[in-house]
Each structure stands twice: as C-alpha cells, then as structure tokens.
Structure 1
Amino acid sequence: MPQSYYFPDVTLLITHYNRSQSLQNLLSTFRALACTFGDIVVSDDGSKETHLQHLRELQPEFDFRLITTPVNKGLGNNINKGQDAVHTPYTLYVQEDFEPSALFPDTFVDALALFRERTEFDIIRFYSYIPYPYLRPYNELYSEMVIPPLATRYTKVYYYSDHPHLRRSSFSERFGRYVEGLAPDKTEYRMCISFIQHKGRGLFYNDYQQLFTQRNTQEEPSTYTQKKRTISKNQLLVLVRHLYRQVKYNYDIYFLKARSAARPKVHDPVRVN
C-alpha cells in the first residue's frame, strides 16, 4: 500500500487567477502523491466567471476554501487575503501553475521537522529560477541564505521569493503585509526588501528545481509579461540595468521605509466559500 502523508498543522495556500485547469493539475498531483493538509485555501483574484465556475466544481472534489474578490486587485491583495484565512501554524505557499515532483512528500516531511525545531528560520525555499548567490552549507539538502557585508551581486535582494516555499503563518506580523496596488514584480520586490530589513532568515533547497516544476500551458499561459527592456540582451542595456540595480537595491535596502506589520483596520470585502 502506498505511503500517505498528512500535514495537519500546514495550510496549502494557493493564489489563483484565470488558470483553473492549472489549479486542478496542482491539486491532482498533490493527491496522486498522497499529500493532504490541515487546510487548503485558494485565493482568487477576480477571475473570469468560467474559471470561477470551474473552481466551484472543484471544491467538493478537493475540499478547499475558496476566497474571492469582485474585481482583480493584484498579487499583493491576493496573497494578503489568502494568508488572512490561514489558521494553522505553517503555510505552504504555491502559485497555481506549479506541480510538485515525486521527491516532494519525503522532502517536505524533513523540512517541516527542521522548521519546527529550528525556530530562528522564517522560510524554507523550494524553487527558484536561479540559485541564491550567497549560500552557506547547512546540511546535505539545504543551504542558509546570507548577505555578506560587501555583497556585490544585486540578486542578493531575492532573499525572499514568492515561488513555492514553507513559511510560518505569522509571517506578516514579522515582515508586514504585501504592498497592494503595484505590479506583481514590484509587489514581490517590496517584500524582498522588507524581509532583508527585518533580518529574516531562510534556507534554500540545494536542488532547487527538483521539487517543483512550473507549468505554462498553451491553453493557460503565464498571466504576467515582463517589459521588453527588462529582458533585452543588448549589452549596453544589460550594463546600464546592472549598474542601476546595484545602486537602487542597496539604496532601498538601507533607506526605503519599511512597511508596518500592523494589519489595516478595514479589510477588503471578500467572499469566503
């Protein structure tokens, strides 16, 4: 009989926008891996009615709580309202277009045990496009992310990432809420800055593209497109962008006003289903 995995003190938090088939694939893969959680929260950012209808059809099958908003309010609002609905001590955050591999269940058992024991860590990152530039070996599976005093690689700012990760559900109390009303990349960037300013600590999974795969299908492509100048291969633009990031990122880390960790007095209206 295949082994099953139950994580009662973990909520699987999934942010979703117009990619209900991708969400179904994610949930089906967790089920195929025999992974169940204390709770599953799907936070939707004002998807089209066809996708919302599909989400409602999936609810009885996968037993998740659906939190919606009448209109699209951006990544920051979507993560905030989703995290507000979490009642367990730990959150596994995954965007809807990812798929866990067969290595995930056993790895997550060990990661969760480590996280419970080592309370100084705020996050364990399971996926990244590129390795974090400054890593200190921790054990055979993980390295600790650090920022040396004279760190010159501007990618040090990505100390935090909204790619799949485990975090404590009190995350916003320590690092503040996500800034709302900004483009997704700027929203994530502001959280990266806050994580550094508040001296967050985290572990980085060494085989960082083995536990999850990002699936962008032709039917449900990525909903975010970078501006052309940010992905240009022109050498002059690459150099200018590198110098700009060196100056801006260091300035923001040391001088950008940190967000308050306090919750707003009035929450955006949402429907909890």
Structure 2
Amino acid sequence: MKKEYFFKDVTLLVTHYNRSQSLEQLLKSFIQLDCQFEDIVVSDDGSKPEHIDYLQLLQKQFDFRLITTPKNKGLGNNINKGQDAVQTSLTLYVQEDFTPAAIFPQRFQHALNLINARQEIDIVRFYAYFEYPYLKNPDEGFYDMAFKLWKPGYRKFYMYSDHPHLRRSDFFQKFGRYIEGQKGDFTEYSMMMSFLKNNGKALFYKDFQNLFTQKNSESEPSTMKRENWRESNNFFLSQLRHLYRHLKFNFDYLT
C-alpha cells in the first residue's frame, strides 16, 4: 500500500511561461507520487492565448490558484507576484519544466523536518547544475552550504539559485524582492548576491540528480535564452569566463 503525503503549511509555487504541457506533467507527477500540498499557486508570465486556455482547463483538474499578467514582464515579476499570493509559511518553488523522482516525497519530508527544526535555515535546495563545493554536517543526504569568501573558486558564490527549493515564505523580508525588468540571468544573479550579503543559510541535497529531472521537449523548449559565450565549450572562452566570474563575483560581493 502506497503512503500518502500531505505537506501541511506548504504551498507549491510554480512559475510558468508558454509551457502548459510541461506544467501538466509536473502536476501529474506529484499526484502519481501521492503528494498533496496545502495550496498550489501557478504564476503565469503573459503566456500565449492557447496556453492560457489550457491553463484554465488544468486549473479545473488540479485545483490551483492561477495568477496572471496581461503581458510578459520577466522572471522577476513572475516570481514576485507568485510569492505574494502564497499564504502558508513555507513555499516549494519549482519551475514548470521539472519533474520529481520517486524518492521525492521521503526526501522532501526530511527537508521539512530540518527547516522546521532549524530556524536559521532560509532555503533547502533540491537541484543544481553542479555540486556545491563546500558542504558539511551531513544529515540523510542534506548538507549545510558553507560559504566563506576566502575559500578558493567562484562556485562557492552559488548558494542560491532558481532551481527547485524549499524556502520560508517571508523570504522577501530578509533578502528583498526579485529585480524586475531585467534578463532572467541577471535577476537570479542579483538574488544570489543578496542572499550572500544578508547572511543566508542554506541546505543542499547532494544526490540532486536523482531527486528532480529537468525536461525540455521539442514542442516546449526552454524559454531561457543565454548569450553564446556563456555556454561555449571553447577552451579560451571557458577560461576567460571563469576568470571573469571570479573577479566579478568577488567585486560585487565586496561592494
């Protein structure tokens, strides 16, 4: 007999833009894992009419609150208005192109236990593109992220990211709102710096590759566009990128 999970006082917040089928897959995945949240908020960033129509059909099926805007205003506005609608003390933030794995319910329950027991923790991270370099105090796969400016490398700065994470819903009171009217990369970077400068505390799930999967289909590709130099595998560009980030991150943190 499968165990059912009801995550009391947690709102699932999903940001969405022109990927209604991906959203459907995400919501179905939680149901298949017998996960229920006290509330679900879907924040849409001015999607095309056909996606809005589909969202309204999904709303009847999955019973979520839909927060819309008449035109696209970017990542910052989309997260801000979605978080403003949250009424519970904890928020599970997930973008619409992620899918939870079978182990998610048990791991998420432990994350809830940790954040409720440790009031200094601001977020618990469940996914990343790389493992955070400085981890300590293991607890069933979760680790404290140990940021120190003097530690080598620039990846130490990545304590915060917009990947799936659990956070306290009063997040804005400590770290401010997301910058609006800028590209998504800059918005995320600005919040990362605010998190560091305001002494944010985070936990990191080390086996993140087995907790969530990011899926981009041909019919609904990623809507995040980056400049070519940011993703190039060219050795010279790669080394230049590392040097640039090292200098910029240190300068921005200190100023």
Q: TM-score normalised to the size of structure 1?
A: 0.91
User: 1:28 aligns to what?
Assistant: 28
The RMSD of aligned alpha carbons is 0.9
User: 1:206 aligns to what?
Assistant: 206
Distance in 2 separating the partners of 1:12 and 1:23: 12
Within-5 A mapping of 1:18-57: 18-57=18-57
2:252 maps to 1:252: yes
2:5 maps to 1:5: yes
> How far 1:135 sits from its partner (Å)?
1.2
Kindly provide the amino acid, as one letter, of the partner of residue 3 in structure 1.
K
Kindly provide the amino acid, as one letter, of the partner of residue 59 in structure 1.
Q
> How far 1:234 sits from its partner (Å)?
2.2
The answer to whether the Cα contact below 8 Å between 1:152 and 1:246 also exists between their aligned partners in 2 is no
Q: Identical aligned pairs, as a percentage? A: 57
Kindly provide the amino acid, as one letter, of the partner of residue 103 in structure 1.
I
What secondary structure is seen at the aligned counterpart in 2 of 1:56? Answer: helix
Unaligned runs of 5+ residues in structure 1 are 256-273
Aligned pair count? Answer: 255
Kindly provide the amino acid, as one letter, of the partner of residue 227 in structure 2.
K
User: 1:150 aligns to what?
Assistant: 150
> How far 1:36 sits from its partner (Å)?
0.5
The answer to whether the Cα contact below 8 Å between 1:27 and 1:62 also exists between their aligned partners in 2 is yes
User: 2:115 aligns to what?
Assistant: 115
Distance in 2 separating the partners of 1:65 and 1:142: 31
2:133 maps to 1:133: yes
What secondary structure is seen at the aligned counterpart in 1 of 2:61? Answer: helix
User: 2:230 aligns to what?
Assistant: 230
User: 1:96 aligns to what?
Assistant: 96
Q: TM-score normalised to the size of structure 2?
A: 0.98
> How far 1:170 sits from its partner (Å)?
0.4
> How far 1:235 sits from its partner (Å)?
2.1
Distance in 2 separating the partners of 1:252 and 1:236: 24
Within-5 A mapping of 1:123-202: 123-202=123-202
Distance in 2 separating the partners of 1:213 and 1:77: 25
> How far 1:191 sits from its partner (Å)?
0.3
2:58 maps to 1:58: yes
Runs of 4+ in 1 over 6 A off after TM superposition: none
Distance in 1 separating the partners of 2:188 and 2:82: 16
> How far 1:34 sits from its partner (Å)?
0.7
